[in-house]
Each structure stands twice: as C-alpha cells, then as structure tokens.
Amino acid sequence: MKQPYLKFCFGAMGCGKTRKLQGDYYSKVQDGFEAIVIKPSIDVKGDNNTLARDGGSVETTFLINKKDNIYIKIANYLLEHNLDFILVDEAQFLEGHHVEELSNVVDILGINVICYGLRTDFKGNLFEGSKRLFEMADPLEPIIRQCSCGNNKIYNMRLYDGVPVFEGEQVAIDGVDATYESVCRKCYKDAKKKVLSRSKVKEFKK
C-alpha cells in the first residue's frame, strides 16, 4: 500500500496553482476519494472559497487562523467523517507550526496532504510556510510558466497603479491590497534597476 505523503506544488503568481488545486480536488472526488480544501484565513480573496483567476471556486471546509492546531482540527473532523486527501490553498501563508501539524496528519493519521502556494514574496524572499514546506515536504512539484523573455517565471513583482514597488509589508493580497506580475529573475532585476534609477533622478532634481 502506498504511503501517505506531504506534497508541495509551488509556482509564481498566475501559474495556475489554484486551478490545479481545483482540478485535483474534482479528480479525487470523482475517483471516489474523500477530500477537503482548507486555506489560511489571511487570504480574504474569495471569502470561504478558493478562487482561481478564471473565476472557478471550491468551498473550503476550514479557514486556518495563526494559532490553530491543524492536527487537532483534522482529528476532530475524523470523528464524524472519512478523509483521504487534504488540499491546502495559499500554503505560503501557513505558520511554521502548521506545516509540522500537517506532517503529523500525514504520518500519524495517514491522510495525504497536498499544499499549493508561492515560493517567495515580492522581494524574492521565502514565506514562512513555503520555507517549512521545502524543508519537510516530499515530493516537491514546481508549476512552471515562462516569462515573455523565455525564462521561467519565479518572481512575483508587486504593482501599485501599474508601477513596480520593492518596499513594503510582506503580505499584500492580490486583487485586494495590490496587483502582481510574475516575471523571471532577470526581468525582475531590470525592473528594479529602472525604479531605483528614477528615484535617484528625482532625488537629484530636488
């Protein structure tokens, strides 16, 4: 019998992570498995649903708050339900302890967990949740899309009024607090260089 697993599917903004989650969810259900979807409560887009860019949505069973113990939540859920798969949207927003709790759901309760999320924030730094998933998950699955220059998109460039910004809080929800454009490393560096050059010109003119 195949051992349960903790899997992390990761990619840049707009690469189809949530669409993949929704497709995986419906496939599992159609194949006769019991599956639920959960996500961190900090993701207010879509309210209690996972919301893909094409408008598709799946209702979540749980919203996870910072101090929640996911293992206990799932253990209580199992008192009245069968469960084969847990699909986690926006997994980058998980706390480190959440990932460890999910690993216990896999290793102790025997339930498969698939997490979908970003690798890095708009500055190119790992989120806490994705960092812990890289440390603990097996297997890892990148979701690849190409930048307009042909390289793989790995950076999530934050935009305000269409202008790239490189300072600010780590979390700003796409479509709520800001917008994003996913680009490759080189295009990200080029855009940052242009913004910094404009700032220096403005300072010089003052």
What residues contact residue 100 under an 8 Å CB cut-off, 6+ apart?
Answer: 132, 136
Write down the domain spans for the chain.
6-205
pLDDT at 1: 57
Summarize pLDDT for 133-164 with one digit per residue, the tens. Answer: 999 999 999 999 999 999 999 999 999 888 88
CATH classification code of 6-205: 3.40.50.300
- C-alpha 70/C-alpha 44 separation (Å) is 19
How many Å apart are CA 143 and CA 153, to the nearest integer? 10
First vs last C-alpha separation in the chain:
70
Q: Which two tokens stand for residue 150?
A: 């042909």
The pLDDT value recorded for residue 46 is: 64
Give CA–CA dist 50/186, Å, rounded.
31
The confidence score (pLDDT) of residue 204 equals 41
Q: pLDDT at residue 192 above 50?
A: yes
pLDDT of 201 > 60? The answer is: no
- The predicted-structure confidence for 7-55, as pLDDT tens digits, reads as follows 999 999 888 898 999 999 999 999 999 999 999 999 877 677 776 666 6
pTM: 0.89
DSSP the chain: -PPP-EEEEE--TTSSHHHHHHHHHHHHHHTT--EEEEEETT--TTTTEEE-TTS-EEE-SEEEPTT--HHHHHHHHTTT---SEEEESSGGGS-HHHHHHHHHHHHTT--EEEEEE-SB-TTSPBPHHHHHHHHH-BSEEE---B-TTSSBP-EEEEEETTEEE--S-S---BTTTBEEEEE-HHHHHHHHHHHHHHHHHHHHH-
- pLDDT number for residue 131: 97
Residues assigned a catalytic role: 90
More confident call, 118 vs 171: 118
Q: What is the mean pLDDT of the chain?
A: 90
